[in-house]
Amino acid sequence: MSAERLGGSFDLLAAWQPGGVFVDHEGIGVATGPGRWVAAQEAIAALADAPEGAVASGALPFEGSGSLLIGDSQVRRSDPFVTARIGKPVAPTLVTGVIPAEAFRQAALATVPPSSFYEGAVAEASRRVRAGELRKVVLARTIEVDAERELDPRRLAHRLRAVDPHAYTFIAPAGDGALVGASPELLVSRHGVEVRANPLAGSAARAGDPATDRANAERLGASAKDREEHAVVVEAVAATLQPLCESLTWDPEPVLQETPNVWHLSTRFRGRLREPAPTALDLARALHPTPAVGGAPSNAALATIAQLEGFDRGAYAGPVGWVDADGNGDWAIALRCARLNGDRATLYAGAGIVGASDPAAELEETERKFGAFLDALRWG
């Protein structure tokens, strides 16, 4: 892809240095080199002693407080509140026919949990929801693949950004490797006293045929199962943000948001914070984990995840983004991502489980998400 087409995103990605952080949404974000790590809860205080314009950025773990990086070299572009595209009938970039699912499984060195175990976990989680133990839980899977070449985080991010220029594309240090992804979901954005959030929950596959694609979207919008899954998330976000805001509005009904491979149900929140306004990082920590990535009630969902999922999520489904010394910043949720380490990549995908969930359908949703990312990994 040309520099002209990538625009500000190309500038940010070109400025990123290994060991640093890159977070971009349509050319709006930050890129840093290596620097000093600070505990997340101390980030704002640490920025007070940093050079003017510095930011603290990175990917926080799904569980625990984590650390953020204040990079030695930084490039920042800020033009807040670019609106994500909602429901536009554009042609999807489908990959399910490019690489067969069998090829994905042959490439996998390890799958946690295996397909049959995942379906069993979904069935058990759905039973618990029907029994009233919880309303929703998100269960994820991983696959580890051997790329047979050294994986380049910058090249993969470039590819992901090209496939979906409306996503929140990111590179962040993760252990001995790097977490690279392109998330469709804004957790929270705060600039001055203005705040926005855009939770997603409920999904359907895209199709190459426009009529089929539109039918899939309409079925999603009418699906009682998916609307329940989405409503749980909207209620939680509203309950967290309302006490912090002078005013807060959101879509009265979920709207359709498209990505190149998936339709989502989306609700857009907009508000004005009470003074003194909490920082973007404070807001991210207050909201996380939303039921879009954890479940509800949160404690019961997290306990179910620990019992049924079978792996440590690390930074997968945690907040990824940046905050400056004034408390402004943007935080997405680390979805559609993989942890790269040499020639190996560990991919993550999850699905929201409610009482009406079908184990085979939820497995298929995770396979579809793996497939989209593996296509980018092959070419990236």
Question: Which residue numbers are catalytic?
Answer: 136, 185
- What is the rounded distance in angstroms from the CA atom of residue 322 to the CA atom of residue 330? 6
Instruction: With beta carbons less than 8 A apart as the criterion, state whether 327 and 44 touch.
Output: yes
99-130 in b/e burial notation, b at 16+ Cβ within 10 A? eeeeebeebbeebbbeeeebbebbebbbebbe
- What is the rounded distance in angstroms from the CA atom of residue 210 to the CA atom of residue 214? 6
Smallest Cα–Cα separation from 265: which of 304, 294, 231, 237?
231
β-pairing, 262-266 with 200-205? antiparallel
The DSSP code sequence of 235-300 is: HHHHHHHGGGEEEEEE-SS-EEEE-SSEEEEE--EEEEEPSSPPPHHHHHHHHPSPTTTSEESHHH
Instruction: With beta carbons less than 8 A apart as the criterion, state whether 315 and 334 touch.
Output: yes
The angle formed by the CA atoms of residues 273, 277 and 279, to the nearest 5 degrees, is: 115
Instruction: With beta carbons less than 8 A apart as the criterion, state whether 33 and 19 touch.
Output: yes
- What is the rounded distance in angstroms from the CA atom of residue 106 to the CA atom of residue 372? 16
First-residue to last-residue Cα distance in the chain: 12
Amino acid at 266: S
Instruction: With beta carbons less than 8 A apart as the criterion, state whether 11 and 24 touch.
Output: no
